Amino acid sequence: MSRTAPRRIQSLKVRVHVPCALKSGEPAKARTRHTLAPCTRAYTRTSTRPSKSTGGERTVPHRPHERKGDFQILQAGPVTNEVGTLEANPEAAVTPRGRFFANQTFHFETLRNAGYTLSRCADLGEMLETTKRITEGDLESWYTEWAETADLVEALAARTQDTISKGDAYMRASTYQRLAEFLLPPDDPRRPESFDKAVRWFFQGLDALGLRYEYFSARYENGRLRTLYLPGPAGSEKKPLIVAVGGYDSILEEKYPVIGKAALDRGYSVLIYEGPGQGEPLRKYGLKFTPEWEKPTTAVLDEFLRTHDRPSQIVLFGMSMGGYLAPLPSKNASTALWRTTCASIFMSLQPGSLAR
């Protein structure tokens, strides 16, 4: 019984021509969003197919087709609060492959929070759907779309019966609300309510997940420092206590997906706090950053040790600029506690930034 020879897989050759130009008369450095003139993408394609008449191959041309559309151009630049957009750059036309946005600020903040999928405090599908709705470089669009996603996920959490799914949804809603508010100007009237939502939903997530925690504040100068203690499982008392602090622009709730959940999963207890210049201490009490970081760290640990046993060892963990701040107590303080302290740091400072 004869068999028909299998058909050869088509090999395609594609030639793409994309003529694009800025609309005439527009300044290259204007502080508004620029739109590219409609682009015509002409695709010319040929393929090789088996020929029935000669038994060989024949080349088949395909009719060119066109796609037209408008593209926005944005790139990383200083935030312009009075206009509500980021400075445009004619060299950055469309979102490059492998990026959420062409704009560096938008891309970095999205990527930063996409990493929290590992701790179930973000969902990549929800984030991708949100980024599709955000206009490049438009700060109002950034806030509106992330806040809308946060509200939708919070509503999902409220009607979910399974405790794990409910807790995870509250955690994701908190992440998206914090992300929405992140780029608002300091004097934007929506910031207090947005901050309260992110904090409230975070603790609703902890409650739904059934995680043990102690939430208190430590007195520091004329204000208070928010502190969260997450006790580990049985045996955690034999391991070092991880004390975590953020950097220039993070709040207490972000330390849970950064280090809190991973530490708990590995049997550690975690103490997370906000120092001066961060989160509520800055917003509510006007406390500014200090180079004497041993003072706020000591205030937090003194308050903690007032009701807990002294740990045998402490690991100080700093996120971003916190990687510079965290080790300061171990270098400057002289109490017996610090002689058993080791510092674990994660720094993302630009070279020379501290000198400036």
CA distance linking residue 265 with residue 262, whole number of Å: 5
In a 3-state reduction of DSSP, which class is residue 4?
coil
Residue 174 is a catalytic residue: no
| C-alpha to C-alpha distances, 191 to 177, 195, 196, nearest whole angstrom | 10, 6, 9
The two tokens of residue 45 are 């394609």
The two tokens of residue 300 are 């937090």
DSSP secondary structure, 286-354, as one string: -PPP-S-THHHHHHHHHHHHTTSPPPS-EEEEE-TTHHHHTTHHHHH--SGGGGGEEEEE---PPTTTT
Going by C-alpha positions, the residue among 200, 356, 178, 176 that lies closest to residue 250 is 178
Measured in whole angstroms, the distance separating CA 271 from the mean position of its chain's CA atoms is 22
CA distance linking residue 203 with residue 172, whole number of Å: 12
In a 3-state reduction of DSSP, which class is residue 204?
helix
In a 3-state reduction of DSSP, which class is residue 216?
strand
| C-alpha to C-alpha distances, 235 to 164, 240, 301, nearest whole angstrom | 24, 11, 21
DSSP secondary structure, 123-187, as one string: -HHHHHHHHHHSPTTBHHHHHHHHHHHHHHHHHHHHH--SHHHHHHHHHHHHHHHHHHHTTS-TT
Query: Is the CB of residue 143 less than 8 Å from the CB of residue 183?
Result: yes
Q: Write the DSSP symbol of residue 257.
A: I
Which residues have CB under 8 Å from 293's CB, separation 6+?
275, 325, 326, 328, 329
Single out the catalytic residue among 119, 320, 330, 353. Answer: 320
Positions annotated as catalytic residues are 320
